[in-house]
Amino acid sequence: ILPARPPTLEQDPPMSFPHPTHESDAAPAGGLSLVVVDARGLLPPEPLVRILGALESLPEGGALEALTDRRPVHLHDLLAHRGFIATTEPTPHGSFLTTIHRA
């Protein structure tokens, strides 16, 4: 098993909010709740586990953004069964940004 690698500036610069524990809450413009999960550097299935765990406390009308090293291929079906909609886009630095909200 390969060790988890932390993100580096060459891979993907830090997002514009803190990631002290790989999860944080931020309030985007408009006052909507945004939960951020930075799962870069984690081996599967840990990114999936952290994303699903963070969704349990997602407030109504809130959104979750997850940054991962790999495209979360199994996540979208799991989210659809739980009543969520997600989009995943590659970032310019090789990571993937998934945005999730309730359907």
pLDDT digits (tens, 9 = 90+) for 47-100: 999 999 999 999 999 999 999 999 999 999 999 999 999 999 999 999 999 999
Which residues partner with 65 through β-bridges? Answer: 36, 99
Map the chain to HEC letters: CCCCCCCCCCCCCCCCCCCCCCEEEECCCCCCCEEEEECCCCCCCHHHHHHHHHHCCCCCCCEEEEEECCCCCCHHHHHHHCCEEEEEEECCCCCEEEEEEEC
Q: What predicted TM-score, i.e. pTM, was given to this entire model?
A: 0.72
